Amino acid sequence: MTLGTKLAWDDTVLPFQLDRSDIRGRVARLDGVLAGVLKQHDYPEVVEGLVAEMAVLTALIGQTIKLRWKLSLQVQSNGPVRMIATDFYGPQDDGTPARIRAYASYDADRLTAGAPRDQVGEGYFAVLLDQGEGTTPYQGITPLHGKTLANCAEAYFAQSEQLPTRFALSFGRATEPGGPEHWRAGGVMLQHMPKASPFAQELPGEGGTGDGGLLQPADLLEGDAEENWNRVNILLDTVEELELIGPTLPPTDLLVRLFHEEQPRVFDAMPVRFGCSCSESKVRQSLSIYSARDIEKMTTDDGRVTADCQFCGAHYDLDPKSVGFEAEGQSDG
């Protein structure tokens, strides 16, 4: 696809509510975030696509939570793409950007010519919510289910949170006149307003009507709520892929186009950026559990202890005498 220069609504997440339907949602557009994530690695195109899909899911889900620290999504599988991990760091202050980082582990010789989801086999979709020091992290896990990672996320919310949730995503390589190809992604998330706080509900005692007993929205809603959910989903089915990532339709106009009869109400958009939380001090902290003998085994032939961040590619080169719980206390400074 061919697109123009960076748009005002790129790298933002716009919250909205459909007042007639008691449904909330988000619209996300990612551009520079994906550039920051993907330039750190030389992934095959199919892996880049999966990382882009997970990144936009992370942006949409992360914005729904009153987040003080970090939301992490993870896919673990027995397929060629063994793992995709993303982190969403909440804004430090009002009006400042949230930060997203992501990476994938894969076996290049096992990748196939099939669809992206074919590269992810059986496994699980996990959500970890960490609200920072003094709190207990929340973790939810469900089996991978569906034809896309978005379907896996929908299944997670139905099973683990009992929240009817729907995603419509688009992502792909874009070109600008005279510029290189780069990835763009966009999407809409719909979620029925919860009766209780998200990430705090219990699994039901019996299965649902979906494949393998999975819960479906019809199992979680009834009466007017089910009718509203079905009506809004039919409207979302009319969205076109280019409307989700193209240059001509701002998110606010997209909402009016799709849901004008549902009385959409928008809130302040949240900016998002690529960002990593790694640091030398955190590397030193992670090594502090090792003895001098353990550190010696990690030391290179050049007499250094090195570490690389899988998310951003940062390289740390440390004096072995300055790390571990028996360190002499000196630093490379």
Range of the domain at 113: 12-274
Q: What is the pLDDT of residue 88?
A: 96
Compute the average pLDDT of residues 126-137: 90
Confidence of residue 295 (pLDDT cuts 50, 70, 90): confident
Confidence of residue 53 (pLDDT cuts 50, 70, 90): very high
Same domain for 88 and 165, yes or no, is yes
Q: For residue 76, is it within any domain?
A: yes
Same domain for 269 and 287, yes or no, is no
Same domain for 89 and 69, yes or no, is yes
Same domain for 104 and 248, yes or no, is yes
Return the CATH number at 197: 3.55.30.10
Helix (H, G, I), strand (E, B) or coil at 19: coil
Distance from the Cα of residue 8 to its chain's centroid: 22
Confidence of residue 198 (pLDDT cuts 50, 70, 90): very low
Same domain for 196 and 218, yes or no, is yes
Picking from 7, 30, 67, 11, the residue whose alpha carbon sits closest to that of residue 269 is 11
Same domain for 196 and 241, yes or no, is yes
Q: For residue 331, is it within any domain?
A: no
Same domain for 145 and 286, yes or no, is no
- What rounded mean pLDDT belongs to the chain? 87
Q: For residue 119, is it within any domain?
A: yes
Q: Provide φ and ψ at 235, rounded to 5°.
A: -65, -40
Report which of residues 203 and 72 the model is more confident about: 72
pLDDT over 90 (residue 212): no
Compute the average pLDDT of residues 275-296: 81
Confidence of residue 200 (pLDDT cuts 50, 70, 90): very low
Q: For residue 243, is it within any domain?
A: yes
Among 257, 274, 291, residue at a domain's last position: 274
Same domain for 214 and 308, yes or no, is no
pLDDT over 70 (residue 4): no
Q: For residue 239, is it within any domain?
A: yes
Cα within 13 Å of Cα(327), Cβ side: 20
Compute the average pLDDT of residues 246-257: 92
Compute the average pLDDT of residues 149-174: 93
Residue with tokens 């914005």: 63
Compute the average pLDDT of residues 182-209: 70
Same domain for 26 and 147, yes or no, is yes
Query: How many CB atoms neighbour CB 218 within 10 A?
Result: 14
CA gap 77, 85 in Å, rounded: 12
Same domain for 253 and 285, yes or no, is no
Q: Angle at which helices 45-62 and 149-156 pack, to 10 degrees? A: 30
Same domain for 153 and 267, yes or no, is yes
pLDDT over 70 (residue 123): yes
CA gap 185, 187 in Å, rounded: 7
Domain count, the chain: 2
Q: What is the pLDDT of residue 201?
A: 41
Residues of the chain above pLDDT 70, percent: 91
Compute the average pLDDT of residues 77-86: 96
Q: For residue 48, is it within any domain?
A: yes
Same domain for 36 and 175, yes or no, is yes
pLDDT over 50 (residue 55): yes
Q: What is the pLDDT of residue 316?
A: 80
Cβ-based burial of 94 (10 A; exposed 0-12, middle 13-18, buried ≥19)? exposed
Q: For residue 59, is it within any domain?
A: yes
Minimum mean pLDDT among 142-146, 232-236, 258-262, 289-293: which range? 289-293
Compute the average pLDDT of residues 125-150: 92
Q: For residue 332, is it within any domain?
A: no
pLDDT over 70 (residue 332): no
pLDDT over 50 (residue 202): no
